[in-house]
Amino acid sequence: MCIFCKIVAGELPSTKVYEDEKTLAFMDINPVNPGHTLLIPKKHVETIYELDEETGKAVMSTLIKLVRAVKKATNCQGVTIHQANEKAANQVVPHLHIHIIPRWEKDYALGGWKAKPGDPEEIKKQADKIRNCLGS
């Protein structure tokens, strides 16, 4: 069972932001910027190539909600949505996942990842802000 499937099963902890029948969103523990959120389908799908249409629609619907909430919660100037498939594309966890990364013009991460271990308390604060913005 992959690490994300263990999070879905409740075997590993996560700071959840959103959950429905088909998707789960939680905070990245190595955020590029505050508010960096991960979205996954609950069903194990390794890459986008194996994603069925129904699950894909659910993921996209949740993605749209999350992007709006992350932008509002962080007051960022933009949002990067990143999804990689296979080792050559730098997919590290073999479970489809989408990074939602708040961006600022001067964050100096435009050319790549500058992830670093996050402060768990700050991650929880960002999750609360995003959750509060999901309904608006």
Report, as residue numbers or ranges, the catalytic residues. 97
> 31: how many CB neighbours lie within 10 A of its CB?
23
Q: Which tokens belong to 60? A: 């996209």
Query: Measuring CA to CA, which residue among 96, 107, 117, 103 is closest to residue 35?
Result: 103
One-letter amino acid for residue 106 of the chain: K
Close Cβ partners of 76 (under 8 Å, ≥ 6 residues apart): 33, 35, 70, 102, 103, 104
